[in-house]
Structure 1
Amino acid sequence: MSAADEVLDVVDRDDRVTGQAPRGEVYSRGLLHRCVFVQVRDGLGRIFVHRRTASKLVFPAHYDMFVGGVLGAGEDYPGAALREAEEELGVSGLEQPVPLFKFLYEGPGGAWWSYVHEVRCALPVAPQESEVDWHTWLEPEELERRVAGGEWAWVPDGLEAYRRLRAFREGGSRPPAPRA
């Protein structure tokens, strides 16, 4: 089965499931769906950064400071966060990513509910070759310089999640847990 054939839940602006459709149809028709973003830090506090493969359906060959992806039909956010992090990092036995906040991304590529998580990974990573073309661990200050410098083409949804995560951390408050 190709990625375009994977069945996703279609949701409304309140993140309630209204139906299901293949991923290719969801993308082509601009239907709302669900995604997870997981910021991964190593034992030294560095952030996992990678370049997506050129074969990705959305934002091919762009850089990202999150691992993650779409939720399959019937999948919940916590399960998807752990599954996506383990798949993309090529690890098993990762702790459950901590949920932080959810927002509706609307921008280049479409619109989707985006639930941001974070996790520590002290395990050696072997990123999934079909997802990750290149990777490194960056100090938070270096990541900030790379984002501000504009020399890397960042995925727009990840960039929006990164900006919101910075604001969330600066505010020091934890939003109420959204519905799954």
Structure 2
Amino acid sequence: MNAAEEMLDIVDEDDRVVGRSPRGEAYALGLRHRCVFVQARDAEGRVFVHRRTATKLVFPSLYDMFIGGVVGAGEAYDDAALREAEEELGVTGLPRPRFLFKFLYDGDGASWWSAVYEVRCELPVSPQVEEVAWHDFLPEEEIGRRLTEWPWVPDGLAAYERLRALRARG
């Protein structure tokens, strides 16, 4: 099955399931669905940053400081976070990502519930070439400098700003 045929739960503004749809149709019609964002850090605390491939259905060729993706129909957020993290990093045996918060992303004619997680990855990574065109683990300071230099995915930026605010509050 290709990515456009993957079944997704369609949800309302309160994240209650109201139907199901293939991913391609959900994207084309702007149907609200569920996604996970996982901030992966290495043993030195650097953040995994990557540039998406040009073939991605959403936000092709843009940079992101999260790994993740859509939550499949009937799948739990926590399970999707682990699955997506292992798939995109190209590893097995990651610890279960730690849930941080959830928010409704609403922009660019699209809307999805976004569960944000963090995970420590001390394994050598081998990202999927279909998903990741470039990657590196970068220190927070460098990410801060690159925010105005690189084109970033807007939903990842929204999650990043919320995460920074959460950490600033302690």
**Does residue 1:152 correspond to 2:150, yes or no?**
yes
Q: Which amino acid aligns with 1:66?
A: F
Deviation readout 1:68-112 (Å, 9 max, x if unpaired): 000010000000000000000000000000000000000125110
Aligned match of 1:164: 162
Aligned match of 1:61: 61
**Whole-angstrom distance in 2 between the partners of 1:11 and 1:161:** 19
Q: Which amino acid aligns with 2:168?
A: E
Q: Which amino acid aligns with 2:152?
A: W
Give the TM-score of the pair, scaled to structure 1: 0.93
Gaps of 5+ in 1: 173-180
Q: Which amino acid aligns with 1:37?
A: F
Aligned-residue Cα RMSD (Å) equals: 0.7
Q: How far 1:145 moved relative to its partner? A: 1.1
Q: Which amino acid aligns with 1:131?
A: E
Give the TM-score of the pair, scaled to structure 2: 0.98
Aligned match of 2:113: 113
Whether the 8 Å CA contact 1:46–1:138 is kept in 2: the answer is: yes
Matched position secondary structure for 1:13: coil
**Does residue 1:131 correspond to 2:152, yes or no?**
no
**Whole-angstrom distance in 1 between the partners of 2:168 and 2:83:** 28
Q: How far 1:159 moved relative to its partner? A: 0.5
**Whole-angstrom distance in 2 between the partners of 1:70 and 1:108:** 17
Aligned match of 1:80: 80
**Whole-angstrom distance in 1 between the partners of 2:80 and 2:109:** 21
> For this pair of structures, how many residues does the alignment match?
170
Whether the 8 Å CA contact 1:32–1:112 is kept in 2: the answer is: yes
**Does residue 1:26 correspond to 2:19, yes or no?**
no
Whether the 8 Å CA contact 1:58–1:109 is kept in 2: the answer is: no
Whether the 8 Å CA contact 1:40–1:120 is kept in 2: the answer is: yes
**Whole-angstrom distance in 2 between the partners of 1:100 and 1:109:** 26
**Whole-angstrom distance in 2 between the partners of 1:171 and 1:78:** 24
Question: 1:42-57 to 2 correspondence within 5 Å?
Answer: 42-57=42-57
Deviation readout 1:120-142 (Å, 9 max, x if unpaired): 00000000111000001100111
Displaced runs of 4+ in structure 1, greater than 4 A? none
